[in-house]
Amino acid sequence: MSLFDKFRGLFSSDMAIDLGTANTLVYVKGRGIILSEPSVVAYHVKDGVKKVLAVGEDAKLMLGRTPGSIEAIRPMREGVIADFDTAEEMIKHFIRKVHKRSTFSKPKIIVCVPHGATPVEKRAIRQSVLSAGARRAGLIAEPIAAAIGAGMPITDPTGNMVVDIGGGTTEVAVLSLGDIVYARSIRVGGDRMDEAIISYLRRQQNLLVGETTAERIKTSIGTARMPDDGRGTSMQIRGRDLLNGVPKEIEVTQAQIAEALAEPVQQICEAVMTALETTPPDLAADIVDRGVMLTGGGALLGDLDLALREQTGLAVSIADESLNCVALGTGKALEFEKQLRHAIDYDS
């Protein structure tokens, strides 16, 4: 990047947003990713009037711990907007946070959307971004953004397979010549894994834990395969005993969490198998050579690459910055808009 480009980047307000179910990342043209915060908004409700109290990291700390007058909301569900007004407030807040100046030229914003999003869901995202102050709102399919962010040569005439496991959805796609040959979006992701852990502990241990605890268990000892010793590492967790209603502490092992996560992991494996069965033979041959690339926060689940390798027999690798791949790819689409304009939709 030349000095002039860097200088121009300082004054550019165009940005790319990875509006995720769990986290929102903002990439500013010429400057890279400069914001990564949870997709949560906390409101203070008084006499039926809502006032924004906190957004992002501060609001996430309030999840599951709020009094009656405060509500913490996650406006994104399964990769799309579930609460229109809250999403708009969140996007506005993040735009203001990125541009510390209160007055700035209206930015052009590119947002990634799940491949399976309906036209209505796409319109809601576009409308939210425009209402939050964008000059123009473009949409890019999440699998394309993830593959670009992972550094895959998607513009070549060869088959590339990417599996992007986000908070709300898993996108499985085969790409060639810069576009999608086959894609499937399943509504299984990090959130579904958390729910699986919560329901497993309720069933097997009579212990009720919240979403925050379930997420901590998943990131600390979560694994997609049964540990070799049948137990694995363990951790202490606290929750409410459902038998007598009092708080208690128990120990959970990796083997138990592997059992809890078996169903969502199997659904991801099945989606990959279906994609491989549907891929044209020549592209399938390329995928045997190149293997499968995992991106997204869910790719960090322990041994998920090994579980997929066992099912498919293919080489499976995890992208270097798997958490940021979609945001980086959306940012690159903004930087190299001319070359990738076929992938960006400005007017649906």
Residue 103: CB atoms within 10 Å: 5
Tell me whether residue 87 is annotated as binding. Answer: no
Tell me whether residue 337 is annotated as binding. Answer: no
Tell me whether residue 37 is annotated as binding. Answer: no
What are phi and psi for residue 236, nearest 5 degrees?
A: -90, 135
DSSP 280-302: -HHHHHHHHHH-EEEESGGGGSB
Tell me whether residue 309 is annotated as binding. Answer: no
Tell me whether residue 278 is annotated as binding. Answer: no
Rounded to an integer, what distance in angstroms lies between the CA atom of residue 183 and that of residue 116? 8
Tell me whether residue 233 is annotated as binding. Answer: no
- For residue 324, give the nearest of 152, 117, 166 by alpha carbon: 166
Tell me whether residue 240 is annotated as binding. Answer: no
Tell me whether residue 20 is annotated as binding. Answer: no
Tell me whether residue 184 is annotated as binding. Answer: no
First-residue to last-residue Cα distance in the chain: 33
- 8-state DSSP, 152: -
Tell me whether residue 189 is annotated as binding. Answer: no
Radius of gyration of the chain (CA): 21
Burial of 275 (0-12, 13-18, 19+ CB in 10 A): buried
- 8-state DSSP, 114: -
SS3 19: strand
Tell me whether residue 203 is annotated as binding. Answer: no
Q: Are strands 136-141 and 108-113 parallel, antiparallel or unpaired?
A: parallel
Instruction: State both tokens at 128.
Output: 């939210």
- 8-state DSSP, 156: S
In our burial notation (b when 16+ CB lie closer than 10 A, e otherwise), range 177-215 reads ebebbbbbbbbbbbbbbbebbbebbeeebebebeeebbb
Instruction: State both tokens at 76.
Output: 């994104």
Tell me whether residue 285 is annotated as binding. Answer: no
- 8-state DSSP, 341: G
Tell me whether residue 218 is annotated as binding. Answer: yes
Binding annotation for ATP? 21-23, 167-169, 215-218, 297-300
Binding annotation? 21-23, 167-169, 215-218, 297-300
